[in-house]
Amino acid sequence: MRNEFLITSRVATFREAISVLEDTVKGHPGIMVVWGRTGRGKTSCIEDYAVNHGAVYIYVENETTPLGLLQDICMELNGMEPRQKRHAKKIIAEELDETPRTLLIDEADKLCLHGIGHLKDIYDMTGTPIVLVGEPSIYGKLHAKEHFWNRVTRTVEFGPVTLEDVVVLGMKACDLKIKPEAATLLLKRCKGGFRILHHDLRDLEVIAKSNNLKEIDADAVYTIPKREIKPTPERD
């Protein structure tokens, strides 16, 4: 199975939104909020964007403090690790003024409001686009804070996997032609997330090669083991 990055409708929407966010010539900088349940492909999307567009990617861990967040951003920008928040924000502002880069903050729903407030300060100081990515709870948390939400200019929701996603991923990643009834079964099995779908497609790829199958039908799907992947705080 090839490690194929699938450009879904959500990824296309994200790319369109961030292109507008970064269009400072037209005066559209701001903060973007991206949300969706675990396994919907949010992290894969923003990691791909960071690699291909030079954005700063920050992953928020459970124990990340406001100072730790600022230190992580500093480390990515210039390798420094200031011990004071005010000093860290000054360094970040100087670096972003000299070399503008978009900040992508993954698992931002783990941040306390104080930590998110520092990101608002960075935006106010530099005008750099900031993308906050997290579970659905982040939308409500931020929407309730008017002084923050009035800086949000774009929102993108990563919804569940679609039938089209199943068919396209099967073809691009595994060279599998999946019949409609099989795609429907796979969609039900994955419960809207890509993780179970990836596991199922790997199994189907093995079955297809072993049996010289050119198409995947419902009978082939019934032969793969049932699996249940519990949501975790790990990356998408």
CATH number for 170: 1.10.8.60
Q: Which domain holds residue 46?
A: 9-157
CA distance 149 to 36: 18
pLDDT of residue 145: 87
Radius of gyration of the chain (CA): 20
What are the CA-CA distances from residue 197 to residues 2, 8, 233 (Å)?
14, 14, 19
The pLDDT tens digits of the residues spanning 75-107 come to: 999 999 999 999 999 999 999 999 999 999 999
pLDDT of residue 133: 97
Mean pLDDT of the chain: 91
One domain, residues 19 and 98: yes
Strands (E), 72-185: 103-106, 130-134, 152-157, 177-178
Answer whether residue 227 shows pLDDT above 80. Answer: no
CA distance 101 to 50: 10
One domain, residues 112 and 186: no
Taking alpha carbons only, the member of 193, 158, 195 closest to residue 15 is 158
Q: Strands across the sheet with 31-35, in order?
A: 56-59, 103-106, 130-134, 31-35, 152-157
- For residue 235, name the pLDDT band (cuts at 50, 70, 90): low
Tokens 């699996």 locate to 227
Whether residue 235 contacts residue 58, with contact meaning beta carbons closer than 8 Å, is answered with no
The pLDDT tens digits of the residues spanning 41-78 come to: 999 999 999 999 999 999 999 999 999 999 999 999 99
One domain, residues 108 and 36: yes
CATH number, position 88 = 3.40.50.300
- For residue 22, name the pLDDT band (cuts at 50, 70, 90): confident
What are the CA-CA distances from residue 73 to residues 70, 102, 103, 160, 209 (Å)?
5, 11, 8, 31, 46
CA distance 169 to 188: 16
Q: Does 1 fall in a domain?
A: no
Q: Does 93 fall in a domain?
A: yes
CA distance 76 to 53: 15
pLDDT of residue 234: 47
Taking alpha carbons only, the member of 192, 202, 209 closest to residue 225 is 202
One domain, residues 46 and 148: yes
One domain, residues 76 and 149: yes
Whether residue 131 contacts residue 34, with contact meaning beta carbons closer than 8 Å, is answered with yes
Of the chain, the percentage scoring pLDDT greater than 70 comes to 93
CA distance 166 to 215: 14
One domain, residues 128 and 56: yes
Which residue pairs from 20-23 have beta carbons closer than 8 angstroms and sit at least 24 positions apart in sequence? 20/153, 20/154, 21/102, 21/129, 21/131, 21/153, 21/154, 22/102, 22/129
The 8-class DSSP code of residue 105 comes to E
Alpha helices in 41-112, H assignment, sequence order: 42-53, 66-78, 85-98
The pLDDT tens digits of the residues spanning 156-180 come to: 999 999 999 999 999 998 999 999 9
Q: In the chain, how many domains are there?
A: 2
Answer whether residue 233 shows pLDDT above 50. Answer: no
